Amino acid sequence: MPVRIWRKPLDAEKIKVKKAEVHILKNQCKGCGFCIEFCPKQVLETSDELNIKGSHPPKIVDETKCALCGFCTAVCPDFAIFTIEKDCKEGC
């Protein structure tokens, strides 16, 4: 059996995992579903909500799961979603 030698990184306290803010510009969305389908962390899901154009924008299931990979921002044909790092100066 392999020896398990993992340990907690020494700088674990110092390293802060970035927190994400997911922004959906609902009325710009045409409802293609790419952001939902290709999110590696399943942050989004389909919703029943209708926007002014009559399509269903995505809804956030769990923002804390977002790893800020930015794929949703890049793959959105309608410039309707983007993620930014949360400003945690005052704690979050």
Partner 1 sequence: MTKKQLEMKHPYERFLRKERMPHIWCEGCGNGIILNCFARALDELDIDLNNVVVVSGIGCIGRISGYVNADSFHTTHGRPIAFATGAKLAKPELKVVVISGDGDLFAIGGNHFIHAARRNVDIKVICANNFVYGMTGGQYGPTTPLEAWTTTTPYGNIEQAFNLVHLAAASGAVYVARWTALHVRRLTESIKKALQKEGFSFVEVISQCPEIYGRHNKMKTAISMMKWFKEASEVRNFSDPAKADISPSRIIVGEFVDVEKPSYGRLLREMKAKLQTE
Beta strands in 32-80 (DSSP E): 44-45, 59-60
Among 42, 64, 79, 88, binds partner 1 (CB under 8 A): 79
76 binds partner 1 (CB under 8 A): yes
Q: How far is the CB of 4 from partner 1 (least distance, A)?
A: 35
The footprint of partner 1 (CB under 8 A) covers: 23, 25-26, 28, 30-34, 37-38, 53, 55, 71, 73-80, 82, 84
